[in-house]
Amino acid sequence: MHARVKSAHGPRAQSYRGGGPTATGAPLCGGCEARSVRKLRACARWSWARENRGSARWIRRRPLADALDHGGTRARIQVRMVKTVALDVKSTDTVDQIKSKISAIEGIDKSQQALFFCGNHLENNNRLADYNIMTNSSVDLYVTDGMQISVSIPSVGKIIKLNLKKSQSVADVKSEIEQKVGIPLDEQILMYGCQQLEDNKLLSQCGLSNGHTLHVLVCPTDKLRISINVDGERTVNLDVKSWYTVADVKLMIETFEGLPACSQILMRTQPGGAETLKDTETLQNQHIRNNDTLMLHQNIQFFVKTYEGKTLTMSMRTCDTTDKVMEKVKAKLMMMAGVYYLHYGGHVMCPGDTLQKHKVANNSTVDIRLRNSNVVS
C-alpha cells in the first residue's frame, strides 16, 4: 500500500495552533503582527495552512528582509510549502521501520522523527495496522530535537543507548540511567569532554548531540535503605548510614518495634546459609548494601517441664527448631530418642517446627510428654 508522509524540515518543528486559511486561500501569520523591520527580519515562526481538500500541512515563512514594505508594518512574503514523500509500506510494518525508510530517503535521524496520524502519536513498536493506516493515508512527520547517545558505565561494564531531547536536563538523563541500570541518582557523576555535567544544565548547553557518548562514574553515598524481616511476620524499612554498627540498627528497631536490643539477632541470608551479624561491626564491613533485607530473630528464655515434674531453663532463638530443643533436653536428662515429644499451647510441636511458628513467648513453659499410640508424629 502507499502512504504519504508530510514532513517539516528545520532546526525544530514546533506545533502552532493559531490561525488557518483565509477566504482567499492565503495563509494566516498565526496572529503575529510584526511592528518593526527588526522584528520582521527575525520572524521565522511556523504557520498553519490547509489544502482545499482539507488535509493539514506545516509551512514555514522565509526571512522577510528583501520583501519588506518600509512604508509600514505590512509586507509581501514568500512561502515554501511542505514536502510530501510517498512510501511503499505494509500494514504489518512497524513505526520504527517507517522511520528507517524516511531516514534513508530524507537523511533525518530516527531519533529526531515524531510521526502522527489523526492527531495520535505513533509509537515505535506498534504496526501501521494498529492505527488503521490504509493506502493513500497521510502521516504527519515532525522533526524534533531528539537524539540518541551512548552511556558508558565502566564500573558495571555496560554501555546503554538513550533516546533523549536536547531540551532535557542532565538530571533527566540520570533518572533514565537509574531506571535502566538501577544506579541511584545521587551516586552518578556524568562526564563529557573531561568535564563533570551539572544537574541543572540542558543537554544543548553541554554540547551533546546525536551519537555522542557520556561516561558515568559511580560514587556510592553513605545512605542506605534496608529492610528488616521480623520473624517472618512483618517487614520494617530503615534509613541508615553505611558506617552504622549492627548495634545501632538494633537500637533503631527497639525504638520502632519495642523489641529489646539485647534480645535481637540480626542475620543475613547467603547461598551457604544464614550468617549472624556482629554488634560491633559496621554495615559496610558486613557488606550490607542498599535495599538489602536482614532477618531479625529474638533470643527468648523459656522453661521445659518434664513429665516427671522437673523444670529446665532454656535460652534459645525464635528461629530454632524443636529438634534443637530436644537435643538440649536429652543432653541434660539423658532421655531416649523417639519416646518423648514437645507440647505447647494445646498443640504438638512437630520435628522441624520453629519456636516462632508456635509463638513460644519469653518466660513461657513447654511440656515434655511421653509418646503413645494416640499421638501422631
Q: Judge whether 64 and 57 are in contact, CB under 8 Å.
A: no
Q: Do 377 and 236 fall into the same domain?
A: yes
Q: Do 234 and 370 fall into the same domain?
A: yes
Which of 155, 164, 157, 9 is CA-nearest to residue 84? 9
Q: Do 124 and 172 fall into the same domain?
A: no
- pLDDT tens digit at each of 377 positions of the chain: 666 666 655 434 333 333 333 333 334 344 444 444 334 333 333 333 333 333 333 333 334 444 444 445 565 655 445 678 888 888 899 999 999 998 888 888 887 788 999 888 899 899 999 999 988 888 988 887 788 899 999 888 889 999 888 888 999 999 999 999 888 888 899 999 878 999 999 988 888 888 899 999 887 778 889 999 987 778 999 999 888 999 999 999 988 888 888 889 899 887 777 788 999 999 988 889 888 999 998 888 899 988 778 888 888 888 888 888 888 888 887 777 678 888 898 888 888 888 888 888 888 999 988 877 444 44
| Residue span of the structural domain in which 262 resides | 223-377
- For the beta carbon of residue 24, count every other beta carbon within 10 angstroms: 5
**Secondary structure class of 195 (helix, strand, coil):** strand
Q: Judge whether 264 and 197 are in contact, CB under 8 Å.
A: no
67: phi then psi, degrees, rounded to nearest 5: -120, 20
Q: Do 189 and 306 fall into the same domain?
A: no
Q: Do 119 and 212 fall into the same domain?
A: no
Locate 112 and state its grid cell.
529526531
Q: Do 15 and 111 fall into the same domain?
A: yes
Q: Do 256 and 373 fall into the same domain?
A: yes
Q: Do 20 and 140 fall into the same domain?
A: yes
Q: Judge whether 282 and 242 are in contact, CB under 8 Å.
A: yes
Q: Do 350 and 264 fall into the same domain?
A: yes
Last residue of a domain, one of 218, 239, 273: 218
pLDDT in tens, 92-122: 999 999 999 988 888 888 877 889 998 888 9
Q: Do 9 and 126 fall into the same domain?
A: yes
**Domains: count for the chain:** 3
Cα torsion angle, 46, 51, 57, 63, sign: negative
What is the DSSP code (8-state) at residue 23? T
Amino acid (1-letter code) at residue 358: H
Residues 6+ apart with CB under 8 A from 54: none
Q: Do 253 and 210 fall into the same domain?
A: no
What pTM does this model have? Answer: 0.40
Q: Do 22 and 99 fall into the same domain?
A: yes
Locate 236 and state its grid cell.
520494617
Helices (H), 3-141: 37-42, 95-106
Last residue of a domain, one of 178, 197, 218: 218
